[in-house]
Amino acid sequence: MRVGEQYKVKIEKLSNLGLGIAKIDGMVIFVENACPQDELLIKISKVNKNFANANILEILNPSLHRIKPFCPMQKVCGACQLQFIDYDYQLKIKQKIVQDAMHSIGGIDIDIPLPVASPEIMEYRCKVQYPVSQTKVSKRLIAGYFKQKSHEIVNIKYCPIQPNICDDIIEFVRKKGTELGISGYNEKTHSGELRHVVIRYSKFNQKSLVTFVVNSNIISDSIKKLSKLIFAEFNSVSGVCVNFNQNKNNLILTNNTICVVGDNYIEEKLLDKIFKFGPNSFFQVNPKSAENIFLYVKNYIKNNFSNPTVFDAYAGVTTFGITLSDVCSKVVSVEECKEAVEWAERTVHDNKISNIELHNMDAEKFFEQELQTNERKFEITVLDPPRKGATQKTLDNVLKLTSEKIIYVSCNPATLARDLKYLLSKGAKLESIQPFDMFCHTYHIENVAIIDLKDVNK
């Protein structure tokens, strides 16, 4: 097999990265923008030892599940990899992705139910992070998502998966920012003023918080003026902030943010609790789908325990701990981001919650401290680590601190399968896995795993 060769193939399934999988003489071929059951004419673009990559030259016989994307930029923009597949079938594909990860990585054979569908599949994404650049000749600002496998910005005027107001704000930034002479960021030369525009949107009150990420340690008069113009133009904008980022890396937001005008926070409602959070705080990008997860976990605890003690690890703004507080005797929350803990304190106060203990420290250090200085154990640990999953040391410590159940929340089936394999080797039992579709039209899938610890030797 060589680069440039053409083949007719039929797509069997999708990989965990959303690529179509076909086979030629036993060789696995990964094909972009392919749907299971597509019959395609492909051209080999790269050959490796055990697999090859290919592009579609012609769709010979499309899958019954292939549809016209509702966004005209779908093939160019790298955000919605599965938008050309009907939504019901997307859920089946994600179910299969989780099943395959459990089997191939974790050695776990368990029936995975269909993901719980997102209540909204359009305008669901409530966090927008657009990189900003500018045209070479006219110096017009451009903003959008990166083209697939590149750092070339696609200048997106309309994105149907985010609220319309976000498009309006971004267009205002392009126009007024250009008029004010604000320069867009050049990644290669590390020059230019405006690196990103970040918008947080609230489904609860339809307010937006705008943050400009600047390649500077001061606020220029132009950025200050643009901030005030946006605040005056859009009644729905609750505040405009500036984040200072002079790092030569892909980090979008640093910890250095100040508010220029209006409020430095936004509010969102999850179940019956109202949360406050700032531009740097992690918060679910799909609040409606997040509510399904919180309700699922809350109902599980309510139906299986009587006022348990719960440990909320990697807590962020303590969304789990706060939404679960009604069915727990005590929640102990740990988060290393100081700002997130400060917002959690405000949310706890505003919602008149009295049974949450908040800690601002590294989770690993907290584990060690608890094991050395306290004899308390938690009946349940809610473990919601970053995409890379948990370390074995973390898992060992959670096993020592938890008497009954781990509720492991994961956005990465591969690292979830790896961590479950380790926990099962220690005597834990996997009770269930329920996927939730948080990121419609992408290959990403959230999972909640319930793990029983009664037979673990501690």
Residues catalogued as catalytic: 411
Bridge partner residues of 434 (DSSP):
448
Element counts in the chain: helices (H) and strands (E): 9, 22
How many residues does this entry show for the chain? 458
Q: 209 has which bridge partners?
A: 200, 239
CA–chain centroid gap for 144, Å, is: 18
Closest Cα to residue 277, out of 244, 235, 322, 308? 322
The DSSP symbol for 66 reads B
User: For 148-216, where are the alpha helices, taking DSSP H only?
Assistant: 164-179
| Gap between the Cα atoms of 274 and 355, Å rounded | 17
Tokens of 365: 């250090």
Query: 47 vs 10, 23, 248, CA distance in Å?
Result: 19, 13, 32
Helix 87-104 vs helix 413-425: crossing angle, to nearest 10: 40
- The residue written with tokens 């908040």 in the block is 358
- Helix %, strand %, coil % for the chain, to 5? 25, 30, 40
Distance CA 451, CA 399 (A): 11
Paired tokens of 69: 């994307």
Helix (H) or strand (E) holding 451: strand 446-452
DSSP structure class, residue 13: E
Chain centroid offset of residue 125 CA: 10
Q: Which long-range contacts (C-beta less than 8 Å, at least 24 apart) are formed by 371-374?
A: 371/397, 371/400, 371/401
Four-CA torsion 338, 344, 346, 350, nearest 10 degrees: 180
Locate 371 and state its tokens.
């094991």
Give the torsion through C-alpha atoms of 56, 61, 64, 65, to 10 deg: 0
Residue with tokens 């009664």: 454
